[in-house]
Structure 1
Amino acid sequence: MRSTQPARAPARRSFVALTACAAAVFAFAANQAHAASVEVLHYWTSGGEAKSAQLLKKMLEQKGDTWVDFAVAGGGGGNAMTVLKTRVVAGNPPAAAQIKGPAIQEWADQDVLMPIDDVAKAGNWNSLLPPEIASIMKYKGHYVGAPVNIHRVNWLWINADALKKVGAQPPKTWDDFFKVADALKKAGITPVAIGGQPWQEAETFETVALGVGGAAFYKKAFVQLDQATLKGPTMVKALETFKRIKAYTDDGQVGRDWNLATAMVINGKAAMQFMGDWAKGEFSVAGKVPGKDYLCVAAPGSQNDFTFNVDSFVFFKVKTPGVEKGQKDMAGLLMSPAFQEAFNLNKGSIPVRQDLSLSKFDDCAKKSSADFKAAGKTGGLVPSWAHDMLVSPAVEGAFYDVLGNYWISKDETAQQAADKLAEAAKAN
């Protein structure tokens, strides 16, 4: 009888090959199950900001997830929020979105956000975050937002060479500021760079109001929305000071983006800019050195106060299976020491984690961190209403309108504008 063994050998080899192929397929499927496509809506589109977004994308992809970029231009984030609302109403929200302040609670109240308590607990967020910021990230005691940084808003950025040309020192008071501005104007240098956009005008006014009235006034006016304070004499003085700055700006400001105004200071076309410390990211990208090429000082009158703005992300409940893994990976990365350090070095801000060394950070960042902690102890720490950290979107928008109209008006008085701010505070 002829042996059948040789005839069965090819079949055995086929079985082995099939088993190996099946194993490869199952392994691929398993890897796919662990990977996730995370669509991220953000408005980090300028130099320093875009570099930070690319860093987060790279770190997320190292975890096996896929970053689907959904960048919406507009430094203030207004355009991005409009797009977000459209997507959520249509039942197709992005997996992650850059949102901050009271808007976090508003979205959470609609039951569309994914809680991330497990990520926060694993990362010990309660111990690492300042309480003023942790509370903003929570809804009914549960974490729904992940913070990435602390921006100081009430900075004045100064081109060092421009100041030297007029033999001036950084202004500490508003009287000093206008003396320096007069000297710069006489020397043919635009004293103040600004973009004619509602949020930039609002931010400048917010900084002026803090410098003129102090933190106690700021809280009564913008936290409590006290009617008497909003239309009182200190507010009138703040509005007069704000409007006085306009004479030291250029005619090309209409529609100008904030980073282009920063570029004017970097290039010496303008001497100063009121802007949050994301501006420092632009100086860094341009290779400029703080203390040598440019100066960072607290805006006049606000040396002991700190207006904060915190970038953060929330994670929407989505229908696509497997995305939750990528969302939680991203939430954990946002608070990781490696990302916090690298991100904030790029962005110009300081880490929101309170346990990180600032040895790699420049003097502006170190001053920002020290001032943040000092202001927290003295009551000088206040959220920025101009950057979505305090009032409702309706009130913020109404304030924007009042200040924008007052900025360009030739006839409106400061008292009239103050009365309109008081009325705007009633918006819902």
Structure 2
Amino acid sequence: MHAFTHPPLLRRTLLGLAVATALGASQAPAGEVEVLHWWTSGGEARAANVLKELMEAEGHGWQDFAVAGGGGETAMTVLKSRAMSGNPPSAAQIKGPEIQEWGELGLLGNLDDVAEQGGWNALLPETVADVMRHDGQYVAVPVNVHRVNWLWANPAVLEAAGVEMPTSLDELFAAGEAIREAGYVPLAHGGQAWQDATVFESVLLATGGVDFYRQALVELDPEALGGDEMVEALTTFKRLRELMDDDMSGRDWNIATSMVIEGDAAMQLMGDWAKGEFTAAGLTAGEDYLCAAAPGTGEAFTYNIDSLAMFRVTDEAEHEAQQTLARLVLEPTFQEAFNLAKGSIPARPDLDMGAFDQCAQQSLADFQRTAEAGGLVPSMAHGMAVRADVQGAIFDVVTNYFNARDMEAEEAARRMVNTAQAAL
């Protein structure tokens, strides 16, 4: 527990706030925000630093509380520990249904004043705004919109194998065979539960479609979870193991991305934060690497919205710093700089996308098209569709099945149903 409490640091922070309040904002930071997040890979860390610099330019202090782990599970454990000890950070990266859970506990601050001044209701797509509110009040601010159902590829490896970018699962398996024969890993993957789930939900979307995806992974309908379509999705998902290498167990997602960047692997199924790694490596979209919707999912957009939720604070200087943080997150300067570094698209669709690459421009166009056509779905693997405990239970089923030599798809589907019923 000692790693989470930081008493001397906290005393220094409180002392700093007292001095700042006494001296006035012109002579010292008006307040300090401690921000818990898991933006720790190269591209992500650069992106988070943009916000820190903007805060400091406005005279506020920023205490970085970065907790590594691509899916955010470790960060959430740390956050719960801090909140239970009555010492939550000022702001934390919290997503989807978890925002509602923290709101129910009465621990989140109200951002309605900032939202009104910034015109958030007019600015944000309703899908995005809805996730940020608890009981009709803004309690969080969206940083971006990620698309999860992407396929990334190294064009030189595809060319060496004599294959095109696959647009269906059948094409993916056929391409995989040719890529393997040419001496490359067809599909780079990291054997971690959240990465397994990321691939699984894209396969399920491809085999079952948008309506089935919603019934199974959002509504947790037992008939969908235990039926033939689920068995087909699970069977196809397990076949993807044939396209992966034997050393994938425990590999971080960005290491899998670097296999594609370096030409050891042809493709990776991963959300568009992977693009931040291609960008950090100095590569150009459409030339040095390719992007396309995950095979079979071109009519859908699996979204993952990163957001910062604000915790209730009593110190006036910290509260002021919090409000400034919320305002800065949606301003064009941060939205553009952060999303260019992160690989995602801005949370506000009114920005000029001229500086963004063709993958980001396609992502925004697909977001708007699928929003109108009904193909926009929340990512289960990334905390947007179901509560954290349900998500964890689904992760267990998916990853155990994927790694078990002798578990049948029917058995995994039965476990899915049991998981959902235990959650209700």
Q: TM-score range by the shorter chain?
A: over 0.9
Are positions 1:121 and 2:116 aligned together?
yes
* 1:241-390 mapped onto 2 (5 Å cutoff): 241-390=236-385
| CA distance in structure 2 between the partners assigned to 1:275 and 1:217 by the alignment | 21
- Alignment of 1:223 onto 2:218: yes
Deviation at 1:33, TM superposition (A): 7.3
Instruction: Find the counterpart in structure 1 of residue 185 from structure 2.
Output: 190
2:395 maps to a residue whose letter is Y
1:224 Cα deviation after fit: 1.6
**Residue 49 of structure 1 pairs with residue 48 of structure 2:** no
* Residues 322/290 of structure 1: CA separation in 2 closer, same or farther (3 Å cut): same
Deviation at 1:374, TM superposition (A): 0.8
1:426, distance to aligned residue in structure 2 (A): 2.2
Q: How many residues align?
A: 404
Amino acid corresponding to residue 248 of structure 2 in structure 1: Q
Give structure 1 stretches of 5+ with no counterpart: 1-24
Match of 1:16 in 2: none
2:130 paired with 1:135: yes
Q: Say if 2:24 and 2:30, in contact at 8 Å, map to a contact too.
A: no
| Larger deviation, residues 390-399 vs 418-427 | 418-427
Q: How far is the alpha carbon of 1:319 from its aligned partner?
A: 4.4
Whether 1:110 and 2:105 are equivalent positions in the alignment is yes
CA radius of gyration, larger in? 1
Question: How many angstroms does 1:27 deviate by?
Answer: 8.8
Check whether the contact 1:151–1:308 (CA below 8 A) recurs between aligned residues. Answer: yes
- Say if 1:198 and 1:401, in contact at 8 Å, map to a contact too: yes
Structure 1 pair 137/27, CA: closer, same or farther in 2 (3 Å)? closer
The alpha-carbon deviation at position 427 of structure 1 amounts to: 3.3
Q: CA deviation at 1:278?
A: 0.3
String of CA shifts for 1:194-217, please: whole Å, max 9, x gaps. Answer: 111110000110111011111011
The structure-2 alpha-carbon separation of the partners of 1:158 and 1:318, relative to structure 1 and needing over 3 Å to count, comes to same
- Structure 2: distance between partners of 1:26 and 1:185: 64
Match of 1:78 in 2: 73
Query: Is 1:209–1:238's contact at 8 Å kept on the other side of the alignment?
Result: yes
| 8 Å contact from structure 2 (residues 29, 61) kept in 1 | no
1:31 aligns with 2:21: no
> What is the Cα deviation at residue 63 of structure 1?
0.6
Which of 32-41 and 329-338 deviates more?
32-41
Code of the residue aligned with 2:98 in structure 1: it is A
Query: RMSD between aligned alpha carbons?
Result: 1.4
Please say if residues 96 and 313 of structure 1, whose CA atoms lie closer than 8 Å, have aligned partners that are also in contact: yes
| Deviation readout 1:156-186 (Å, 9 max, x if unpaired) | 0011101000111111111111000000111
Match of 1:63 in 2: 58
The reply to whether residue 234 of structure 1 matches residue 266 of structure 2 is no
Greater than 3 Å deviation, 4+ residue runs: 25-34
How far 1:247 moved relative to its partner? 1.5
Which TM-score applies when normalising by structure 2?
A: 0.93
Determine the structure 2 residue equivalent to 1:95.
90
The reply to whether residue 152 of structure 1 matches residue 147 of structure 2 is yes
